[in-house]
Amino acid sequence: MQLMLTGHHIEITPPLRAYVEKKMERLTRHFDHVIDLHCVLTVEKLQHKAEATLHVRGSNIHADAVDGDMYAAIDSLTDKLDRSVVKYKERQRDHHAEEGRRAVRG
């Protein structure tokens, strides 16, 4: 998985980059067909926003999270992406299982 990390009004420090990489590794445990991930970290006044677009075969998955702390926003973003990836994977599996049942019936 290729990770592109961008910061708006924030400097991406090595510890912040390492934290994002560590958290995003969790996504590949559920689904290893991730092509790339673009993550944008933004600071606006007292709000820290983390948003990401995950490119998978045939689709894009987008999520964002806002919190008072950047690390908490990244945690929330990772949870949302994790749920979305599991949901996408289940849809793919159900779709292909239905094709198999149709082929057996006739």
CATH number at residue 90: 3.30.160.100
Q: How far apart are CA 7 and CA 36, in angstroms?
A: 17
53-99 pLDDT per residue, tens: 999 888 899 999 999 999 999 999 999 999 998 888 888 877 666 66
What is the number of domains present in the chain?
A: 1
Domain that holds residue 54: 2-105
pLDDT of residue 105: 64
How buried is 27 (Cβ within 10 angstroms: 0-12 exposed, 13-18 middle, 19+ buried)?
A: buried
